[in-house]
Structure 1
Amino acid sequence: MATDPSKYKLNHSMIRVKDPKRSVQFYEFLGLKLINKLPNPDAKFDLYFLAYDSPRAVSHGAHWTDREGIVELTHNYGTENDPDYKIANGNTDPRGFGHLCISVDNIQAACKRIEDAGYKFQKKLTDGKMRHIAFALDPDGYWVEVVGQKPLEETERVKETDPETYRLNHTMIRVKDAEASLNFYKEVMGMKLKRTHESKNGGFNLYFLGYGDDSEISAEGVSPTAGQEGLLELTWNYGTEKDPNFKYHDGNAEPQGFGHICVSVDDLDAACARFEDKKVNWKKRLTDGRMKNIAFVLADPDGYWIEVVQNEKLKTRANW
């Protein structure tokens, strides 16, 4: 039994939502499509999986486990009717998760379309010094970064935008120790470091990791990885690794919000055996509990959860 990490995919990122109707509507407005729903009435929660699925999408028509760039919305029954229920978006204390990011064909037109629909922004294109990125707010206050697939000067005179060309580009999480986290995601999870952005004046570095061939990287966009899906962005603020009392919030302790990222693998049993050999910390082994088709690794040193599932295109295991 063998497993090949080069066949893994960063399948999805899970966030909890208060009202699934409002959240699904928002992400569908961004061009994503509801490709799967897993109701769990006995446990009183439902899962909604959204991804770009137009004929021009990267994974058009693929099984949901054979994709990258999915957002999973988790709805616990009753939260939509609870006036006191509020999501922790990860950008106010306690911090940890940062944002999802979509890359678009025309960032000026895309942002105008979002604003015209009545959605709010944490940062508009015209705010601050960074005029090439914006941050929209979803109904729960999660940040959704918007970046362009082309330089600003190529799109500033164009008034149209086509959501069928968008990508769910990356998920950002903050990490305490960049060296430790990079080692974990590369050596244990089998990801490749695609791009590094150093901001010495800002006191932080950004690291973009993912699976797949490096030839997929485009040099045409504002970001050389803007045309991809399923990337993980690690944000490291200088000095946090030296503070023994510093800790990021994993999103699963109260107050809850972000839940996990998920990696789909070529052979679930073999992959979990490999993780065992790597001496990972587990939140849930395959053999734990009733659900024998998923496992959860704990990402050292920050404690983020990483779900592991079978890529059903490569090997049939579960009847999702």
Structure 2
Amino acid sequence: MASTTETKNYKFNHSMLRVKDPKESVKFYSFLGMSMLKKLEFPDAKFDLYFLGYDSPKAASAGNNVWDREGLIELTHNYGTENDAEYKVNNGNVEPHRGFGHTCISVDNIQAACQRIEDAGYKFQKKLSDGRMRHIAFVLDPDDYFVEVVGQKPLEATENVKETDVETYRMNHTMLRVKDAEKSLKFYQEVLGMSLYRKHESEAGGFSLFFLGYPGEKGVPGEGQGTADREGLLELTWNHGTEKDESFSYHDGNSQPQGFGHICVSVDNLDAACSRLESLNVNWKKRLTDGRMKNVAFVLDPDNYFIEIVQNERFTDKANF
């Protein structure tokens, strides 16, 4: 393995969510077409990790090792929460604990997909017919995390289609609210090496959306090209003016009340990647040398969201865990 690192080899691997009852959560994400790719058990520390992602022959990274993928969801279960009537996660969308916003799946036929979800008895935060934005929906997972549903095709092209194939779905993006768009864009582009795919400005709504990702073999989408067929994008939501308020901050998900935990980037050379981050003067939550787990590191973004850094096993041919 080379002693250098190149951000073109990096992948936005997963987003971690704490869950109350893993059986219910795994059932929900499996219903959305995801497969259990790996389960890591840490009985001494009293928690388990469940890694889910799309793995059908039609999936973007079918058959790859867990760390050589994008768009995974990691569910963290702390033993006993499922039996605790008082336990509830912070979904990131209720004041004063807003921060993480949602994950998003893209689907083949959005009307049929939403109907299938509704028929299964799952609740919606927003149905397609609600509000002005008729091309997106938000379903609630068992912990009331928001899961956005978007179509891979124009709305009018799928309105009379009754079938939906979960094997064609993608875990498209994860949304985080950021205080200062300029600082966050600089961090994710210059420090983590992501590319800006597209942005949406809403002057009337007072917000801007920025979609970033690692281009990989597909490259950066061209002008007018959509991103619904991609996996592992990061959506940053900036509400205009927050950057001017010194006292303003978003909830990072790891202080109480907890919910969202982190996003994770897998790299080609873990030691070299961490040395590069050190040279860029990042804020560390955990260096490789800290604690018992010497094969993961955590850096902090400008809003103090945790970003895990792990080794992509494709470059080492050696298991991380």
TM-score, scaled to structure 1: 0.97
Query: Which of 245, 250, 260 matches 1:248?
Result: 250
Q: Which moved more, 1:205-214 or 1:37-46?
A: 205-214
Query: Which of 5, 8, 18 matches 2:10?
Result: 8
Where structure 2 has 5 or more consecutive residues not aligned to the other structure, the ranges are none
Query: Which of 293, 296, 314 matches 2:295?
Result: 293
Deviation of 1:314 (Å): 1.2
* Cα distance in structure 2, aligned partners of 1:255 and 1:197: 31
1:159-198 equivalence runs, <5 A:
159-198=162-201
* Cα distance in structure 2, aligned partners of 1:60 and 1:148: 21
* Cα distance in structure 2, aligned partners of 1:295 and 1:193: 25
What amino acid does structure 2 have at the position aligned with 1:314?
F
Superposition misfits of 4+ residues, deviation over 3 angstroms:
213-220, 316-319
- Paired position in structure 1 for 2:305: 304
- 1:54 matches 2:56: yes
* Cα distance in structure 1, aligned partners of 2:156 and 2:219: 25
Deviation of 1:81 (Å): 0.2
- 1:76 matches 2:83: no
Query: Which of 101, 109, 134 matches 1:98?
Result: 101
Conserved? CA contact 2:195–2:220, under 8 Å: no
What amino acid does structure 2 have at the position aligned with 1:190?
G
- Paired position in structure 1 for 2:315: 314
Conserved? CA contact 2:17–2:261, under 8 Å: yes
- Paired position in structure 1 for 2:239: 237
- Paired position in structure 2 for 1:259: 261
Deviation of 1:316 (Å): 3.6
- 1:114 matches 2:107: no
* Cα distance in structure 1, aligned partners of 2:68 and 2:23: 26
- Paired position in structure 1 for 2:275: 273
Deviation of 1:195 (Å): 0.7
Where structure 1 has 5 or more consecutive residues not aligned to the other structure, the ranges are none
What amino acid does structure 2 have at the position aligned with 1:83?
A
What amino acid does structure 2 have at the position aligned with 1:305?
F
SS of residue in 1 equivalent to 2:111: helix
TM-score, scaled to structure 2: 0.97
* Cα distance in structure 2, aligned partners of 1:197 and 1:234: 10
What amino acid does structure 2 have at the position aligned with 1:268?
L
Deviation of 1:319 (Å): 4.0
* Cα distance in structure 1, aligned partners of 2:71 and 2:318: 22
SS of residue in 1 equivalent to 2:314: coil
- Paired position in structure 1 for 2:35: 33
SS of residue in 2 equivalent to 1:313: helix
Query: Which of 138, 149, 152 matches 2:152?
Result: 149
* Cα distance in structure 1, aligned partners of 2:134 and 2:175: 20
User: How many residues are matched?
Assistant: 317
